Amino acid sequence: MPILAHLDLDAFFAAVEELENPELREKPLVVGGDPYGRGVVSTANYVARTFGIRSAMSSAEALRRCPQAVFVWPRHVLYRQYSRAVWDTVSEIVPRIERTGIDEGYLDLAMVARDFAQARAVASAVQTSVRATTSLTCSLGVGTSKVVCKIASDRRKPGGITVVPPGREARFLAPLSVRLLPGVGPRAEERLRVAGVDTIGGLAALSDPELSALLPGSLGPLLRDRARGIDPRDLELEGEPVSVSAEDTFARDVSDRALLHAEVRRLAELVAERLHNSGLSGRTVTAKLRYGDFSIRTRSTTLAAAVDEADAIGDVACGLLDRGLRDRPGALRLVGVGVSGLSPYRQLTLDEA
């Protein structure tokens, strides 16, 4: 069963500006163009939103609603720097990610959580890590499909987590405005409203003839499925890998060093096999340690020559594991092994030479 999450950074551009200039935190802040020209609001902080200011509104209208608002020009280079820090942090906890924008994306929690109760704990760990690393807050929606997660992530902003357990998707969506359903544009929304369909539940309940009369073609069935919480889309991952890794979660937390080493060497064999199959080798070996409280520690080292052999990777990774446990002793919930700094060749061993 899929366990997905949608992560959305809270008022991202404005939050970065507040971090760079803390004096702005208590003021209505608008990131956007010239309020005396034809500028448009990129985003606004939560103080400004109490005046009804929102994204895509003209800057002139924002100024009319709040004459005391502070306007700043967007600084996209700065925002990208913060965004990279956020996603680097998130990927240490959840390695399978689809970034859909500078401030949002989907996470495959099924890789690190066995059920929805554990998924909530992972989502909380993501929030904690993002805040600790960047001082930014984010909201997450957790569910079985992209459409449910996307809508859920907006329910408890800022800094909230909304979990929609399996089987409750349609009930969660039903009372919400139909305009919140991804894919319902202004024209479709108008057609539905004229027919008295104001909620997602109303769209979900339409019969085939009713649906084809209102939304002809393939769009109608697609939107009705989404209104029922049915959305089979998987994550769309980016191109070439920058690392090859493997990890596993223990049924119970493990502190026995011999068992941990054995697991690390098993994972090193998987990594080596994937490297061989891809014709790759790498110079940087990383060991990943997750403790019972979901906190993450990683230890890495860069070698003089690229490796792809299981024994070599295992030797280095075990040493890194020991180093991590010296820095923070404790039982581990998960261990992982990764190789990065990839190149399309490998070192020959003495036997092969």
Pairing of strands 41-44, 104-108: unpaired
* Structure tokens given for 315: 């030797």
DSSP 27-54: S-EEEES-TTTT-BEEEE-HHHHTTT--
Tell me 293's DSSP state. T
Distance of CA 79 to the CA centre of its chain: 17
Q: Which residue has the tokens 């895509």?
A: 56
Q: Is 273 a catalytic residue?
A: no
Cross-strand partners of 248: 335
Phi, psi at residue 52, to the nearest 5°?
85, 10
d(CA 34, CA 206): 45
Question: Is residue 6 within 8 Å of 106, Cβ to Cβ?
Answer: yes
Element (H, E) at 224: helix 219-227
Cα distances (Å, whole numbers) of residue 130 to 14, 109, 150, 296: 16, 16, 19, 12
Q: Which of 104, 169, 247, 263 is catalytic?
A: 104
Residues with a known catalytic role: 104
